[in-house]
Chains A and B, each alone.
Chain A
Amino acid sequence: MDAAIATKSLDKVYGKKDDRLVALDNINLSIKAGESIAIVGKSGSGKSTLMHILALLDEPTKGVVTVNGVDVSSLSEKQVDLLRNKSFGFVFQQFFLNGNETVLDNVILPLKIAKVGRRERHKRGLEVLKAVDLAEKANAKALNLSGGQKQRACIARALINNPNVIFADEPTGNLDSTTGGKIEELLFKLNREKKITLIIVTHDPDLAKQCDRQINIKDGHLAERKNS
């Protein structure tokens, strides 16, 4: 079976000549569908860059990224946009919710982009909010939510397209440990029950340990370590 996401001889270089900065150097990686992966490393190690490339938000300088066996460089910009919209979900440390809009409006944004009709959007929006236990806040303004609620809304937004992969960039970074714990619980539950591939960027060792596998990035190099 093809890997959900795989990379081959991946390099990412910023700048030219004297200002050259090698962010990623020869990364070979294969992530199976349904796996949970933690990308760990110090800040500046290149772990965010790796996640951006895996999430097709950035392009490598050299090397190949495949999604479900398809070389991404062979896809058009439109096809890549569509792939992100249909198959990927994003959870950010900073939430990136629009404070002036309702929670529901924030959550249905991917469906809006995918040209799903108003009624369908509404229905599915309420469903995912229920799934993250936030149904009663559907019509509240996003800025009135607590940190944990915001992150749950963010997860609901990531879930609404029934994605194959969720990318979570420091999902608990802005939360206290109790709230963070609940968010972790929610993410792993989705991973287990819905078989959603989970790719988490974190420098929290406790969170990393809960994943099937840890990918340690150090100065752009790969130093993988399996969790037992």
Chain B
Amino acid sequence: MKIIDLILSANASLLRNKGRTALTIIAIFIGATTLSLTNGIGDGIKAYLTKQVGNLGNSSTLTITATTAKTNFRSSSGLVKYVPGQKKISSQGGGPNDSEQVALTQSDINKIAKVPNITSVQPTLTVAPDYIATVANPYAKYQFILNQTVGISRLDVSSGVNVNNNSSQYQVTLPISYLSSLGYNTSSSALNQEVTIGISNALGAQSTFVATIVGVQQKNLVGSTAAYANTDLFNALYGFQTTGLPTSTIDTYASIQAVFNPNLTTAQINKLKSTLAGLGYTAETIKDQVSTVFTVINAITYVFDGFAGITLVAAAFGIVNTLFMSVQERTKEIGLMKALGMGRRKIFALFSIEAVLIGFWGSILGIIFANFLGKIVNNLATKGFLKDFPGLNLLSFPAKASTIIVVGIMLIAFLAGTLPARRASRKDPIDALRYE
């Protein structure tokens, strides 16, 4: 028989027992739907996170901290030796993870700048402004957090633009959650408005800086809820904040941002990291920092996939059962085909194709149904509990994943079909054609 005739025959035999076929397909369908949905949630969240990573930092930026030798008083190796000149930022005790952080200084910056492939090095500076208020209503003062934009490639700005680090104008972007307190009803009404930022220095004096709102950041899951300042504004604030401090205190940084050549391959980036590790620094790209989250999401997805897999195994036994019945019922037909010269392998193929077709229809229908459910859930979610997270699709169904599911289920169905198909192929035509 030609392959097309085999497929048509298999299909005809499935249609002959519509009820039984439908029930077997439903079992596969449930498995395929579950698998598609669990994968869809994992993929949806991962796709969103990937998009959001841009909010956290440039992919060619390393966040560098000093590698600290952990002092563990429970270990037998004893205490870690003091290194002359080393400064500490913090030292924490009391919990199970006693830790201390060693400060970085200008000499570290110079050292890192000499590492090949590093194009620029800047300390991560922080400012602690006292309040933010609108110029229009200067007495309504609110606490807030302000970050610099160094190392950040792009913020998810829903209206307006990102701050311009080359502009001499003082610019800020605000998270959407700030707006109502500041008296703005809509994102667009906040654009190009001026805000006053109050800040104190070490001597106890307070000063104010006026900045223009150039953009509004939409709510997201992984980025911070800080406002962002452009370089000139940030430097002005930092300069005022550190007025009166001794130089040695100013020259103390928790971390350093190092920008590297964006053309580096993953292997080269890893080599760069190990070079830095050799110098006593811990270097992480933003991807390293987010990868922990991805690992957790993957793990959860795998667990759910496992459950879906169990339903598929159960469904596979349904296929075995259905095909055994089919072989039993069609004993005479098999005998006749063999008598008329159909080979053993073709009989095997005929029943295998029947199994694969069950898998095919079950998985295709399952994926279509999962897509349909996904649309409804996405719709409800974006109107409901994910209202504040524009751009987040709870479920996503990439074609590649769907294809893998269909092919995988067809393979499972084929394996399930081998037992009945083998039995069919071994039927003796004489036994099959004997009178009863």
Verify A57–B429 contact, CB threshold 8 A: yes
B433 at interface, CB cutoff 8 A = yes
Verify B342–A81 contact, CB threshold 8 A: yes
Complex contacts, B341 vs chain A, CB 8 Å? 81-86, 110, 113-114
B339 at interface, CB cutoff 8 A = yes
B337 at interface, CB cutoff 8 A = yes
Verify B430–A90 contact, CB threshold 8 A: no
Give Cα distance in the complex from A84 to B340, angstroms.
Answer: 6
Verify B430–A96 contact, CB threshold 8 A: no
Partner of A109, one of B2, B340, B343: B340
Complex contacts, B342 vs chain A, CB 8 Å? 81, 85, 113
Verify A96–B433 contact, CB threshold 8 A: yes
The digit string for B5-35, where 1 denotes a CB below 8 A from any CB of A, is: 1000000100010000000000000000000
A52 at interface, CB cutoff 8 A = yes
Q: With contacts A57-B430, A94-B435 known, is A113 near B337, CB below 8 A?
A: yes
Complex contacts, A26 vs chain B, CB 8 Å? none
Other than A81-B341, A109-B337, A113-B340, give 12 A-B pairs with Cβ distance below 8 A.
A52-B430, A57-B429, A84-B341, A85-B341, A92-B433, A93-B435, A94-B433, A96-B333, A109-B336, A109-B340, A112-B5, A115-B5
Give Cα distance in the complex from A123 to B44, angstroms.
Answer: 56
Q: Which residues of A approach B to under 8 Å, CB–CB? A: 52, 55, 57-58, 77-78, 81-86, 90, 92-94, 96, 98, 100-101, 109-110, 112-115
Ranked 7 nearest A-B pairs via Cβ: A85-B341, A84-B341, A81-B341, A113-B342, A96-B336, A110-B340, A81-B343
Q: With contacts A58-B430, A81-B342 known, is A113 near B1, CB below 8 A?
A: yes
How many Å from the CB of B329 to the closest CB on chain A?
12
Complex contacts, B422 vs chain A, CB 8 Å? none
Q: With contacts A58-B430, A96-B332 known, is A84 near B16, CB below 8 A?
A: no
Instruction: Please name 11 pairs of A and B residues whose Cβ atoms are closer than 8 Å in the assembled complex, sorted by A.
Output: A57-B429, A77-B343, A82-B341, A84-B341, A94-B435, A101-B12, A109-B337, A112-B1, A112-B5, A113-B341, A115-B5
B344 at interface, CB cutoff 8 A = yes
Verify A57–B1 contact, CB threshold 8 A: no
Give Cα distance in the complex from A85 to B339, angstroms.
Answer: 8
How many Å from the CB of A137 to the closest CB on chain B?
20
Q: Tell me the nearest residue of chain B to A106, going by C-beta.
A: B336
How many Å from the CB of B432 to the closest CB on chain A?
9
Most buried by A among B1, B337, B341, B429: B341
Give Cα distance in the complex from A109 to B344, angstroms.
Answer: 16
Give Cα distance in the complex from A57 to B430, angstroms.
Answer: 7
Give Cα distance in the complex from A115 to B2, angstroms.
Answer: 5
How many Å from the CB of A166 to the closest CB on chain B?
13
Complex contacts, B346 vs chain A, CB 8 Å? 113
Complex contacts, B333 vs chain A, CB 8 Å? 96, 98
Partner of A90, one of B332, B339, B435: B339
How many Å from the CB of A221 to the closest CB on chain B?
21
Complex contacts, A84 vs chain B, CB 8 Å? 339-341
Verify B340–A77 contact, CB threshold 8 A: no
Complex contacts, A96 vs chain B, CB 8 Å? 332-333, 335-336, 433
